[in-house]
Amino acid sequence: MHWRKRRTKLVKLVWLKYAAVAEAVLRSRAGLGRPQQPTGSFLFLGPTGVGKTKLAKALVEQLFDEKNQLVRVDMSEYMEQHSVSRLISAASGYVGHEEGGQLTEAVRRRPYSVVLFDEVEKAHTSVFNTLLQVLDDGRLTDGLGRAVDFRNTVIIMTSNLGAEHLLTGLFGKSSMQVARDRVMQVVCFLTPFV
């Protein structure tokens, strides 16, 4: 009996996540979204193993019928300030400036894609500033001066921030509303996205 209640809570939380993503995509496809921003941008929070990355992969298969439209960026590789140049490409005159960045080149080649920023809390703040430009303007200029359009992408960021608070809510040690409020305090304190 105890596990059935927990399972019901978990299914409800997962369903809300799927519904929010589906609504954003439908709104954008109907022309009701914000035209200068990505199709949708989401921050999935929770402990390891709850399906944050799996949802991104499922979304790619539903939207594009193929798995290679997922651009996955492991943010633990971008912990230093200078690593931004690997995302958007180095400035002119620096080593590797003639090559595109990991993010900008992938989206330039596949403008209709799902961009997954995995473990986003590990990235340096200068990387966050770059992501804010993408979320606000729907475009990013690489080191070669080419503007890359992100308006047709779905951006998903995953994080383990506040996972312990979500688990206390799920296991009944506190209400889900209290757990959600605590998670939002942690997220607002550590990231500029909320």
Indicate whether 34 belongs to any domain: yes
Q: Is the pLDDT of residue 148 over 60?
A: yes
Domain count, the chain: 1
CATH number of the domain enclosing 102: 3.40.50.300
Indicate whether 155 belongs to any domain: yes
Indicate whether 15 belongs to any domain: yes
13: containing domain: 2-160
pTM listed for this prediction: 0.77
Residue 78 CB contacts under 8 Å (≥ 6 apart), including other chains: 84, 86, 87, 122, 123, 124, 127
Tell me the pLDDT band of 1, cut-offs 50, 70 and 90. Answer: very low
